[in-house]
Amino acid sequence: MTATRDRNVTGTPFTRGLGVVTLAGIALLVVLGLFVSPADVTQGESVRIMYAHVPGAWLAYLAFVVTGISSAAYLWKRTRSLTWDRIAGASAEVGVLFMGISLVTGSLWGRITWGTFWTWDARLTTTAFLFVTYVGYLAVRGLGGSHHQRARRSAVLALLAVLEIPLVHFSVRLWNTLHQEASVAGRGTDVTMDGLMLFSLFLGVFVFTLMYVWLVLHRQRALALQDMLDDTGLDAALAARRAEAVA
């Protein structure tokens, strides 16, 4: 097998183009978010965090939805394919990344606007649970075994998570009404959005979506390479074993 000193392993013309557009979008977003867009009437400059926090949160949810759908696609016999499993895994990784970012930025934003890094409202708590659940999912993916064992285990786990998260959200909501906690309105709704702010927010969502697609494509291909490597490793080991038997 020839070793290829290849700088670009999982790229294709499409991803390269996508990457360039994404970088431009990020630059534009940062400029708009940090400098050009106006400060908020009530929240002041701290609203700028919104352009990084909100898109991150939305994309994290999207990522987990994709993981759920890919998991179901893997489990359904007619569409069973390890590609679905790898997409589920890649999407979950990116989802955990974005959700972590969202929790941190949200915490910082909350510190400025509400004075606390954390509150126990239903949305925030459920988000934290979603984060921990998918960290567990990623841990299970690393358990080993054949590719299909991994795929089956993870797919069932992902669908169980889809069942669990609404239950958690509902319970925490019920729990909060006990304490008559003033519904901590999403910080976003406190913001009176003018045109440029709205545009920046949508730009943020768009740019983060591009980032998500780019990341999942590359990560999914990297996983495919890893799986191929495992397979050839297995083949080589089997071949060696057979050679031994013959000798």
Partner 1 sequence: MDDLGFILGSYVVTFGSILLYVVSVVRRSRRAGRDIPHEQRPWT
Partner 2 sequence: MSGKRRAFASVRATARLIAVKDLRIERRGRVLTNQVLPFALIVMVMFAFALDSDAVLERVAPGLVWLATLFSTLFVIARSFAVESSDGALDQLRTSGAPSAGIFLGKALALMVQLLVLVVVLVVAAVVLYRADISWQGGVLLVTTALAATCGLAAVGTLYGGLSAGAKGRETLLPLLVLPVVAPVLIGATRATESAFGTNGIAVGEGWPWLGLLVVFAVLFSVTGAIAFGSLLDE
What gap in Å lies between CA 98 and CA 60, rounded to an integer? 5
Contacts of 202 (CB under 8 A, 6+ apart): none
Of residues 210 through 229, those in contact with partner 1 by CB under 8 A are 211, 215, 218-219, 221-222, 224-226, 228-229
The reply on whether position 164 binds partner 2 by CB under 8 A is: yes
The reply on whether position 44 binds partner 2 by CB under 8 A is: no
**Alpha carbon 208 to chain centroid distance?**
10
Binding mask 167-186 for partner 2 (x = CB under 8 A): xx-xxx-xx--x--------
User: Which one of the spans 35-43, 76-84, 131-139, 198-206 is the region binding partner 2 (CB under 8 A)?
Assistant: 131-139
39 binds, among partner 1, partner 2, none (CB under 5 to 8 A by kind): none
Identify which of 61, 134, 57, 65 has the alpha carbon closest to the alpha carbon of residue 103. Answer: 57
For the bound state, the minimum distance from the C-beta of residue 166 to partner 1, rounded and expressed in Å, comes to 28
The reply on whether position 230 binds partner 2 by CB under 8 A is: no
DSSP state at residue 40: B
List the Cα angle 9/137/117 in 5-degree steps: 100
The reply on whether position 191 binds partner 1 by CB under 8 A is: no
Q: What DSSP string runs through 149-201?
A: HHHHHHHHHHHHHHHHHHHHHHHHHHHHHHTTPPP---GGGGS---HHHHHHH
The reply on whether position 78 binds partner 2 by CB under 8 A is: no
For the bound state, the minimum distance from the C-beta of residue 3 to partner 1, rounded and expressed in Å, comes to 5
By the 8 A CB rule, do 39 and 191 touch?
no
CB atoms within 10 A of CB 21: 13
Max Cα-Cα span within the chain? 82
What gap in Å lies between CA 99 and CA 97, rounded to an integer? 5
- Look at residue 8 and give its three-state secondary structure: coil
Of residues 26 through 85, those in contact with partner 1 by CB under 8 A are 26, 30, 33-34, 44-46, 48-49, 52-53, 56
The reply on whether position 2 binds partner 1 by CB under 8 A is: yes
The reply on whether position 105 binds partner 1 by CB under 8 A is: yes
| Residues at the site binding partner 1, with contacts judged by CB under 8 A | 1-7, 9-10, 12, 26, 30, 33-34, 44-46, 48-49, 52-53, 56, 93-94, 97, 100-101, 104-105, 108-109, 111-112, 211, 215, 218-219, 221-222, 224-226, 228-229, 232
| Residues at the site binding partner 2, with contacts judged by CB under 8 A | 75, 129, 132-133, 135-136, 139-140, 143-146, 149, 152-153, 156-157, 159-160, 163-164, 167-168, 170-172, 174-175, 178
